[in-house]
Structure 1
Amino acid sequence: MSRARTLKLPLLAALAAAIGWSAFTYPAIGQLTYDLASAAESRLYGLHKERVTVDGVPMVLYRSQGRNTGQHTGDAILMLHGFSADKDVWARFARHFTGNHQVIVPDLAGHGETGYQPDWKYSIPAQSERLVKLLDQLGVQRVHVIGNSMGGHLAAYFALHHPKRTLSAAMVDPAGLPQPHPSEMERLRAEGHNPFLFDTRAGFYRFYPMTMAQPPFMPGYVLDAIADQYIARKAALTQIFNESHQPTDVSTRLGQLRAPALIVWGKQDRLIDVSAAAVWQAALPQAQVVLLDGIGHMPMVEAPADTAKLYAAFIGQAGTR
């Protein structure tokens, strides 16, 4: 049986199971479909779910094992999602590394299955220290770290503050530095409207196209369920956004980063304008910088195979330095 057909079967089974409940639970059916499909995909890609409690925070993560031996293999890669996202945004990108690397993809505090508590800390420094303790508990000493958006800011902060634990640092459409040309999101925020925060599905459908230039297909009932989750989490997201978007010393210390560095940016990014890439490059002139045509804020979701090929070449070179 072909790999493509093998992939489709559990996804179709998940969809069929979900549809069986649709008459009673719409739009919860959308969340069920999404969860079942994500679980099936992650398993097929060699990602296994684990739970590790770090300073009272029950973190949920994906981790890969060697396909043949059942043991962790290769250098570890730590993948960090952005604000309001979760570990699943990395799955189709991570599949290209699970055979030869230990891949670690956590739901950061406040996100995904790790959940939210108002007394947890959501700043970049707090999340970074939590990651160090997570790696300690997993027995991982050094990692290639890659992050998107808020996760890109976090990746840079982690690499600066924990250089002995960093093999390389890759920032994908990262937050944290100025944008010479304000993005659509920044213009809206200047007018008093944060596109991440809304009270209606209409607000979600204005926001969602801003996240990607080429989003993968999802049925409308799945998008409705995601919209409802955003609405229900508005208070939590407000706190997390405010804490995670506080300035850090990345803006003043970035030039001190000594690990091999990669900066990737989608030219059609509507959340963080591509003009910020030049600011990162000026602060980190030794970094490799790649701008992607036709791609928005989440290259690892919009073009996972191409972005993974780019990243594989980068960490391959980083390993020879």
Structure 2
Amino acid sequence: MNTADPEIASSIDAAGIRTNYHDRGDGFPVLFIHGSGPGVSAWANWRLALPELAKKYRVIAPDMAGFGFTDRPAGIVYDMATWVRQTVGLLDALGLEKAHVVGNSFGGAIALALAIQHRERVGRLALMGSVGVPFPISEGLDAVWGYEPSLDNMKKLLDIFAYSRELVNDELAELRYRASIGPGFQESFSAMFPAPRQRWVDAMASREADIRALPHETLIIHGRDDKVIPLTNSLTLLQWIERSQLHVFSRCGHWVQIEHAARFAQLLDNFFAEAGA
């Protein structure tokens, strides 16, 4: 880890994309795929969960193409095919045949697509506030993807993301705002989800029949008060995935992993421990 900037960790070539990733702990590998908020990185998304899960598992958390400190190659197309290819490339580069996969929001859509296209590479699946099924875009998600950099705009977004004002203090807003204006960050972000944005929700959705065919044990997690991704998404996933369970947190927005960090980590630990890997 870079002590000057904890968001910058190791670097590896994943399917031709120089990828910044965190790799900590020992044990069965667990791959964490972050969401798509402005200025997001794997560390920003998972900084509270990784140290806890690393006590028992090998936790791996990459910055996906277009986000964080992963390279942004000229001419790259930011779409599901690219992100799934990068994810498989990362597993290959690390010599991992299989990993449990945790996907948050946008990362949930990638996790679903990975499990559908490469089911043998995924052990157990955890989906938190997940995209990946059809739904009318929420005002919250439209605002997140339409973010224009300013400290005031970031404060407004944090109000959308989190249930409690205790989490969305000015210090966090300042940190996330500064992250959102890092070199190349806003250029790739604004190019990724231009209006009308319903089409990007649709493009991330997997086919119902493919989701229903998933054989994986799946943990679905959602904040009851999520303004970004509707709780109905997780209810749909619960209906479609045969071997699934749903855990809903009250007084919780889109950031279960931050708003209920200890319970979130314990939930994952219990779920993965059942696999006996």
Match of 1:59 in 2: 19
Shift of 1:244: 6.0
Q: What residue is the counterpart of 1:30 in the other structure?
A: none
Give the AA of the match of 1:235: E
Are 1:90 and 2:46 an aligned pair? yes
**Structure 1 CA distance for aligned equivalents of residues 119 and 243 of structure 2:** 16
Amino acid at match of 2:245: Q
Q: Give the equivalent residue in structure 1 for 2:116.
A: 160
Residue 293 of structure 1 pairs with residue 250 of structure 2: yes
**Paired residue secondary structure (1:239):** helix
- Structure 1 CA distance, aligned partners of 2:230 and 2:168? 25
Tell me if the contact between 1:78 and 1:103 (Cα under 8 Å) persists in the aligned partners.
Answer: yes
TM-score relative to the length of structure 2: 0.85
CA contact (8 A) 1:146 1:170 kept: yes
- Does residue 265 (structure 1) correspond to residue 222 (structure 2)? The answer is yes
2:188 is matched with: 236
One-letter code aligned to 2:192 = I
Q: Which amino acid aligns with 2:34?
A: H
TM-score, normalised to structure 1's length? 0.74
> Which has more helix, going by share of residues?
1
User: How many residues end up aligned between the 2 structures?
Assistant: 266
Query: SS of the residue aligned with 2:130?
Result: coil
Identity %: 21
Q: CA deviation at 1:184?
A: 3.5
Instruction: Give the direction of change, closer, same or farther, for the CA distance of 1:99–1:200 in structure 2 (3 Å limit).
Output: closer
Matched to 2:13, the amino acid is: T
Q: Which has the larger radius of gyration?
A: 1
Q: 2:72 aligns with which of 97, 116, 122?
A: 116
Contact preservation (8 Å) 1:83, 1:151:
yes
Q: Secondary structure at the match of 1:178?
A: coil
CA distance in 2, matches of 1:300, 1:183: 21
Q: 2:235 aligns with which of 257, 269, 278?
A: 278
Q: Which amino acid aligns with 1:262?
A: L
Secondary structure of the residue that 1:112 maps to in structure 2?
coil
- C-alpha contact 1:77 1:102 (8 A) present in aligned 2: yes
Gaps of 5+ in 1: 1-34, 43-47, 66-72
Alignment of 1:200-279 (within 5 A): 200-214=150-164, 217=167, 220=170, 223-230=173-180, 233-241=185-193, 245=201, 246-279=203-236
* Amino acid in the other structure paired with 1:122: Y
**For 1:172 and 1:264, how far apart are their aligned partners in 2?**
5
5 Å-filtered alignment, 1:8-87, equals 39=6, 49-65=9-25, 73-84=26-37, 85-87=40-42
Please give the secondary structure, in 2, of the residue aligned with 1:271.
Answer: coil
